[in-house]
């Protein structure tokens, strides 16, 4: 007879510095039910596997590890390790998730979540607040739906899960009903660039999502080998983020198609948010194209010509003609420099004076990517508004 209530599913690879915290967090749980710990180690090379074996030897009835002798991801291009190696051998009524570089902090975490799910059959997914911790253990932020600090438990729905993207909840906060997952899984589970996002979407589409306000786990941010480290700010990672955003858009479309277009409105809103982020990422890569697109707009051209007429006599505060001529010698002598700056130069990243960096200013005021407003004009108007205050 199977009397296991929860199967804890953990995947790990080269997590030697953190795997003990994860395992200790599992073992400290105080429950009135049995649970098992399923671990898949993808042939770690740093000693993580040895630590898992030691823990398994001490707790043979609870910890059940699969330790690969060759890396499945690299050698066999296998993805979705949780689904392939943990979910399909789980015996619990519920599955709780936690990667090997994260950990739980509340000894009653599982009890609280299972108690709620047992009392609410319509709910298939229970989550909670988590602390995001940096590489040195520093506090980064609280992770919860919409990144808010709630003073009470809340109920969320599928629209919330869609609109908040993959940041709806920390993966290590997820507890869900095992039999909820269909067999076979929908195609979008396998084509998604990550494994937890499609799971969150699918479970939220089946009913209300319970959120517990208590902070019961830690999500480590940008530690070596983590997802967040892989998308840290550099050109290679920005290229990767662009690819991920495109794939997230595809995931949302495929998810919506699976549910016969039921969530089109929320999906379109989320895709719009992600498209704006893609503009921003391109800009961070040094690609002015998102901002340059405004040059082609007749509306923007007319607006900037009007600005030229407005400023041609009294001048535009901060526009240094001598500096601009020196830095942009290609501008024809007879062409008004201010007009060139307004209708063309700024969109190509030209600076109006030695102390004003157009690239940095647009980076700090991302709304300009979408409005097309001239950065120096925006800066001057902002100064005026601040002086009135």
* CATH number for the domain that contains residue 137: 3.90.550.10
| β pairing state of 125-133 and 103-104 | unpaired
- Asked whether residue 61 falls in the same domain as residue 175, the answer is yes
- Asked whether residue 163 falls in the same domain as residue 294, the answer is no
Of the two residues 239 and 52, the one the predictor is more confident about is 52
Of the pLDDT bands very low, low, confident and very high (cuts 50, 70, 90), residue 295 is low
- Whether the pLDDT of residue 203 is over 90: the answer is yes
At which residue do the structure tokens 């690239």 appear?
359
Mean pLDDT estimate for the chain:
89
- Asked whether residue 158 falls in the same domain as residue 303, the answer is no
Q: Dihedral, CA atoms, 283, 226, 221, 360, nearest 10 degrees?
A: -10
CA 236 to chain centre: 17
- Go through 66-83 and write b for each residue having 16 or more CB atoms within 10 A of its CB, e for each that does not: bbbeeebeeeeeeebbbb
What domain count does the chain have? 3
Q: Assess contact for 124 and 178: CB atoms under 8 A.
A: no
Question: Does the N-terminal peptide bond of residue 184 adopt cis geometry, omega within 30 degrees of 0?
Answer: yes
CA–CA gap between residue 63 and residue 252 (Å, rounded): 36
- Asked whether residue 73 falls in the same domain as residue 203, the answer is yes
- Asked whether residue 308 falls in the same domain as residue 277, the answer is no
The pLDDT of residue 233: 47
Phi/psi at 153 (5° precision): -65, 150
The pLDDT of residue 292: 65
Q: How much is the pTM?
A: 0.76
Mean pLDDT of 177-202: 93
List beta partners, residue 94: 6, 177
- Asked whether residue 275 falls in the same domain as residue 330, the answer is no
Range of the structural domain that residue 356 is part of: 290-388
Share of the chain above pLDDT 90, in %: 61
Share of the chain above pLDDT 70, in %: 92
The pLDDT of residue 173: 98
CA–CA gap between residue 6 and residue 233 (Å, rounded): 38
The pLDDT of residue 312: 82
- Asked whether residue 278 falls in the same domain as residue 295, the answer is no
- Whether the pLDDT of residue 156 is over 80: the answer is yes
The pLDDT of residue 167: 87
The pLDDT of residue 2: 72
- Asked whether residue 354 falls in the same domain as residue 297, the answer is yes
- Asked whether residue 255 falls in the same domain as residue 297, the answer is no
- Asked whether residue 176 falls in the same domain as residue 237, the answer is no
The pLDDT of residue 372: 79
């Amino acid at each position: 007879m199977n009397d296991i209530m929860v199967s804890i599913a953990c995947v790990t690879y080269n997590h030697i510095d953190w795997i003990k915290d994860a395992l200790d967090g599992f073992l400290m749980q105080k429950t009135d039910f049995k649970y098992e710990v399923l671990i898949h180690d993808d042939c770690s090379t740093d000693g993580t596997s040895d630590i898992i074996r030691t823990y398994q030897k001490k707790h043979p009835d609870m910890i059940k590890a699969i330790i690969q002798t060759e890396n499945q991801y690299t050698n066999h291009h296998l993805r979705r390790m949780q689904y392939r190696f943990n979910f399909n051998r789980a015996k619990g009524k519920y599955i709780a998730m936690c990667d090997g570089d994260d950990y739980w902090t509340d000894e009653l975490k599982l009890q609280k979540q299972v108690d709620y799910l047992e009392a609410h059959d319509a709910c298939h997914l229970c989550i909670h607040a988590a602390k995001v911790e940096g590489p040195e253990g520093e506090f980064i932020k609280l992770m919860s739906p919409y990144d808010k600090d709630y003073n009470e438990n809340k109920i969320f729905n599928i629209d919330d899960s869609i609109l908040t993207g993959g940041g709806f909840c920390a993966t290590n906060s997820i507890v869900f009903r095992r039999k909820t997952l269909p067999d076979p899984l929908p195609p979008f589970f396998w084509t998604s660039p990550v494994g937890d996002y499609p799971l969150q979407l699918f479970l939220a589409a089946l009913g209300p999502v319970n959120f517990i306000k208590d902070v019961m786990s830690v999500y480590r941010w940008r530690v070596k080998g983590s997802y967040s480290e892989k998308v840290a700010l550099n050109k290679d990672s920005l290229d990767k983020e662009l690819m991920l955003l495109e794939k997230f858009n595809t995931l949302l479309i495929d998810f919506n198609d699976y549910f016969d277009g039921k969530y089109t409105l929320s999906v379109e809103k989320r895709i719009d948010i992600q498209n704006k982020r893609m503009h921003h990422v391109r800009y961070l890569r040094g690609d002015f194209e998102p901002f340059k697109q405004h040059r082609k707009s007749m509306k923007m051209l007319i607006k900037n010509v009007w600005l030229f007429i407005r400023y041609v006599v009294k001048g535009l505060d901060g526009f240094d003609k001598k500096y601009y001529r020196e830095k942009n010698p290609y501008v024809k002598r007879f062409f008004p420099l201010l007009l060139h700056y307004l209708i063309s130069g700024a969109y190509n990243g030209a600076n109006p004076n030695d102390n004003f960096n157009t690239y940095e200013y647009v980076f700090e005021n991302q709304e300009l990517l979408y409005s097309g407003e001239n950065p120096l004009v925006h800066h001057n108007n902002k100064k005026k508004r601040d002086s009135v205050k």
